[in-house]
Chains A and B, each alone.
Chain A
């Protein structure tokens, strides 16, 4: 077990190093720099050279990278070129909680809708319930989230006035308003996810219900509902958990669009603006945080696996 933990840790460190090099190189290869963006209409070659030197951007790329790594591991993530605010505060204090909050409610929404829908569709397969459920699942799975967001804003925000159309309210400030503000963004982000999970749940359950041990259980006289909930569903959860874990990264990707459409000050919006402004430190730190989150989620999925599947535990 210790060996496993050490290996896992070393893999993680190497992976994070490679990610940091890749992102740094990619940002440096992209044309343009933050100095041009910062100067805007006040650009002139002299002020450009002065500011570039002041920000240390005239040094070699390797030196810039090494300085960044050295400071990053010491907890000094630098400051935003444009705003001057500390990067660590922007990422960890300001943006991350918003994205985690949005992702949490999107996941809750997706699971609450998708698993029952998938189960019902599997149990009533090849009926209109199955076709309607899976049709909706494919629809939400294929609908671009930014467009769905705008459609929802216009229907439920502007026309019906049921939900706020934009903005983030911290749950610490007002729980009720905070939840109300999350309804449309969580639906937008969770819809794609719900479609995917519902389809996986259905197909897995259909597959499991045809397994010999289910037939044995039925032959032993276990009633229909108990067969599903006690024997089949636990095995269905294994592929579902795998997909949930793998696709949480997809949720962060979707958060970029959702946060932009609903004006939520989360990681997705932060990184989008940072990339456009060529804020190297900010992009680097945000990507590292996303990578660490992704790795942690995968670790959690592994642990859950061991809980759900005794064979993995014994291996």
Chain B
């Protein structure tokens, strides 16, 4: 077993506590400094302007504002403003980290025991205090089989929750689950987002339309297919640069515009203040516009060309490997992603700071473009001569990473060079999902997005029989490596396990990895204080106009 000094989660918990102590000390010092400045506020405080309304176009779907039931990134981006999590995701420009949100202190007496001390005085928008009882209720709601939350699996190893006092609880897991920091975040984790128990009991299933959290904004209204309106929570616990409570904005209006060209037009006409997502084709135009700032970077994602491992012709590993070496990622990145991506040669992506190998492509250990190698592997394939395959493409997808049929159109001539004749077939969303979920396809392209830990990016997608392993990949050695990594607390050992698994996956080629793409948001130049976090997040806590 790993020494405690190297334990990933324990180190994180300790770091958080230290940061909180130093932050409190800083705030105390800042307060003293403020009191000492008899003449007005310091310059940095005056730069912040309070009030106003932010109008922002939402391109992707919002399914529900109940975080324990959502499956849409479009919704999570709104949850980030209504709720808090036990933890939150942070980014210093280089590394992704997990910071305390509702917790003030996180102790780990053993690798499976977590003692959480909550911030005091945090209130839900309905006036109730966020206590240990409320956090316990939320954790139990998630894992209750009757509730049927799609995120209950993240707490499958939770053993018991004991309340120690009004603001302290002790949570025990059966095993040292390494995905926990991500699961406990209020954004993409969703298993750590804390909702008001009273409001859930009051609204039942309609809670998703009447959300109540502790976040900087409270819910006002949701007009179907039109807008979602949030207003300032005057009792929010975080403090702004001017020493007063955040948020700065009075109101946020989320305009549910599905048509991205309409949103771009409205942004350029100055009618709205931003877009929560920029489809790649609009990137060059918006980057050139002096009134618009484009914010974004490579996120925790990868796109790939999936090949059905269970059906001919891709039940042949040599053919799949030939495909993975026949694809030149450079023109795809330039023409399908308009430069907004980097080549992916395996699954683990840059924001997984402790696990990403930046040299995966250049070292030529995983997948890369080599036509000679592709031809040699093609010659080893049991399918001789030309093979004809159908590539199913989804038409309407406008979410993160959606490139429509562009990728298929670019790859088609590349595969023709190794005798794989691709017929591109466009399907609308529901049909595409049905065919993918039932394994009724030969080839398709897909992307897994907003991941922050290798476990979520590799385990349910590629382990034998797991729900998102639509191509039917199976390698017992791979399964063993990633299953061990789930409960390996030592970071270095965990990385070694993922290195092996990631490489094995690339070499087995159940898919051809294509890109880790950037996720962009567009904001008017008059919007200030937006902090970019590479988890497709849109937090307006400290935004001002």
Contact = CB atoms under 8 A, between A and B. Distances in A.
Task: Report whether chain A binds chain B.
Answer: yes
Interface of A: 30-34, 36-45, 47-48, 50-51, 54, 82-85, 90, 94-95, 150, 153-154, 157-158, 161, 164-168, 260-263, 265, 269-270, 273, 276-278
Contacts of B225: 94-95, 265, 269-270, 273
Interface stretch (B105-113, B120-128, B430-438): B430-438
A161 B262 contact: no
A2 B394 CA distance: 54
Contacts of B256: 263, 265
B265 A157 contact: yes
Contacts of A273: 225, 258
Interface in B447-483: 448, 467-468
Nearest to A168: B226
B424 interface: no
Contacts of A153: 261-262, 265
Given A31-B430, A32-B431, A39 B266 contact: no
A165 B71 contact: no
Contact of A260 (B205, B258, B266): B258
Contact of A44 (B224, B258, B467): B467
Contact of A30 (B224, B268, B430): B430
A40 B259 contact: no
Contacts of B224: 83, 85, 90, 94-95, 265, 270
A133 to B, nearest CB: 30
B208 A84 contact: yes
B72 interface: yes
Interface string B218-248: 0000011110000000000000000000000
B430 A261 contact: no
B265 A166 contact: yes
A47 B69 CA distance: 12
A263 B255 CA distance: 9
B209 A85 contact: yes
Contacts of A30: 430-431
Given A36-B437, A45-B467, A270-B224, 6 more contacts: A31-B431, A31-B435, A48-B437, A165-B265, A260-B258, A270-B225
Interface string B401-431: 0000000000000000000000000001111
Contacts of B151: 42
Contact of B148 (A50, A85, A262): A50
Contacts of B209: 83-85
A145 to B, nearest CB: 13
B25 to A, nearest CB: 42
A150 B434 contact: no
Contacts of B432: 32
B459 to A, nearest CB: 13
A278 B430 contact: yes
A30 B431 CA distance: 8
Contact of A37 (B205, B258, B430, B448): B430
A262 B437 CA distance: 34
Given A153-B262, A158-B265, A166-B265, A32 B206 contact: no
B64 interface: yes
B467 A36 contact: no
Max chain A Cβ within 10 angstroms of own Cβ: one of B257, B259, B431, B435: B259
A43 B430 contact: no
A82 B262 CA distance: 24
A94 B431 contact: no
Contacts of A167: 226, 255, 266, 271
Contacts of A158: 265, 268-269
A14 B145 CA distance: 46
A50 B224 CA distance: 26
B63 interface: yes
B269 A265 contact: no
A291 B165 CA distance: 61
A166 B206 contact: no
A157 B434 contact: no
A32 B433 contact: yes
B430 A41 contact: no
B150 interface: yes
Contacts of A154: 265
7 contacts: A36-B430, A40-B71, A42-B150, A47-B150, A83-B224, A165-B262, A166-B257
Nearest to A162: B269
Given A83-B64, A95-B225, A157-B269, A43 B258 contact: no
A33 B430 contact: yes
Interface in B265-286: 265-266, 268-271
A166 B57 CA distance: 11
Contacts of B72: 40
Nearest to A47: B150
A109 to B, nearest CB: 20
B396 interface: yes
Given A42-B71, A47-B150, A32 B262 contact: no
B54 to A, nearest CB: 15
Nearest to B190: A42
A84 B224 CA distance: 11
Given A39-B150, A166-B257, A263-B259, A84 B429 contact: no
Contacts of A168: 226
A1 B263 CA distance: 53
Contact of A32 (B255, B261, B429): B429
A33 B434 contact: yes
Interface in B142-184: 148, 150-151
A54 B158 CA distance: 26
Nearest to B433: A36
Given A38-B71, A82-B63, A161-B269, A166 B262 contact: yes
A222 to B, nearest CB: 52
A313 to B, nearest CB: 44
B508 to A, nearest CB: 23
Contacts of B258: 260, 263, 269, 273
Contacts of B206: 84
A114 B256 CA distance: 34
A30 B291 CA distance: 45
A270 B258 CA distance: 12
Contacts of A277: 429-430
A153 B205 CA distance: 40
